[in-house]
Amino acid sequence: MRFFKSVFFLLALPVVLIALWWLSAIISPSFFVPTPGELITTFFTTWFGERFTDDVLPSLGRLALGIIGSVVVGIVLGLLIGSFRTLRQLLEPLLEFFRAIPPPVLLPLLMIIIGVNWRMQVFVIIFGSLWPVLLNTVEGVRATDEVQRDTARSYGLGRAARLRYLILPAAAPQILAGIRQCLSIALILMVISELWYTSSGLGFTIVKFQRDFAIPEMWSGILVLGLIGLLLAVLFRYIERYLLRWYHGLREVQRES
């Protein structure tokens, strides 16, 4: 019963919106808005072929590298900065300065320094999407209970053991919350990094369709991006439930009590 209820809440609103879209397309057809049937047909004919290997897979590869880089750099730096108050106070102004810089502004500079290649695109994704992970990790480490820290020290636990058994579990909910934000930002930056001075990728292809007035193909590219975002969200939800099963179990016990 719970499964069917979840499926209902997952599909009910999209089905209603597609029905309204179809009805609107029948009543008032527009060149700039394809019908759902036309969009689905174009989606399969456009992306299940050479474009999948030439545009989709390279974009997914850069997105994966960007997300992995953001998570690794964000967690490592966050644990380091969050563990030392002096270091945190020293770096806080600098972090706020770099966080305020929009990653697209760096594209011309990175093109000169790194060149127009996949490394520049991955760097843009990492630079823009690591901040939620980094800042949430810092706050998660800072919020670790001081009594538990003192207890761990009194029992002779070394720094590595405290990090593994106390700090990381305590900060895990906030770290994963930062990673959830990182995923959507990385997807946006993947598209932005492919808009200029490139000849492949989802962002480049969607803009090319728009300039050629290939409207159904342009909408089908937007649909691909939406499906990628949905897939990332679903995968992350299951990973989060697995990693934080103890946390969600504790919350359920607290609600029942």
Which of 62, 83, 79, 82 shows the shortest CA–CA distance to 128?
A: 62
H helix runs in the chain, sequence order: 2-27, 36-47, 50-51, 57-83, 85-99, 107-113, 118-142, 146-154, 159-162, 168-193, 202-211, 215-243, 245-256
Token pair recorded at residue 49: 């072929």
- pLDDT for residue 126: 93
- pLDDT for residue 175: 94
What CATH architecture applies to the domain 56-91+102-256? Answer: Orthogonal Bundle (1.10)
- pLDDT for residue 252: 62
Q: How far apart are CA 91 and CA 96, in angstroms?
A: 9
The domain locations on the chain are: 56-91+102-256
Q: pTM to 2 decimals? A: 0.88
- pLDDT for residue 254: 59
What region, left, alpha or beta, does residue 201 occupy, with left being phi > 0 and alpha being psi -120 to 50 degrees?
A: left
- pLDDT for residue 73: 96
Across 97-118, b (16+ Cβ under 10 Å) vs e yields eeeeeebeebbeebeeeeeeeb
- pLDDT for residue 250: 61
Token pair recorded at residue 128: 């823009």
Q: What is the CA radius of gyration of the chain?
A: 23
Angle at alpha carbon of residue 154, lines to 151 and 155, rounded to 5°: 90
DSSP state, residue 30: B
Q: How far apart are CA 215 and CA 229, in angstroms?
A: 21
Token pair recorded at residue 70: 């953001």
Tokens 């770096």 found at: 91
Q: Which residues contact 244 (CB under 8 A, 6 or more apart)?
A: 172, 173, 176
Q: How far apart are CA 243 and CA 172, in angstroms?
A: 9
Q: What is the pLDDT along the chain (257 residues), one digit of tens a residue?
A: 666 777 677 778 888 888 888 888 788 888 888 888 899 999 999 999 889 999 999 999 999 999 999 999 999 999 999 888 888 888 888 888 888 888 888 878 888 888 778 888 999 999 999 999 999 999 999 888 777 777 878 877 788 888 888 888 889 999 999 999 999 999 999 999 888 777 788 999 999 999 999 999 999 999 999 999 999 999 999 999 888 887 666 666 556 56
- pLDDT for residue 256: 58
Question: Is the separation of the CB atoms in 215 and 34 below 8 Å?
Answer: yes
- pLDDT for residue 249: 62
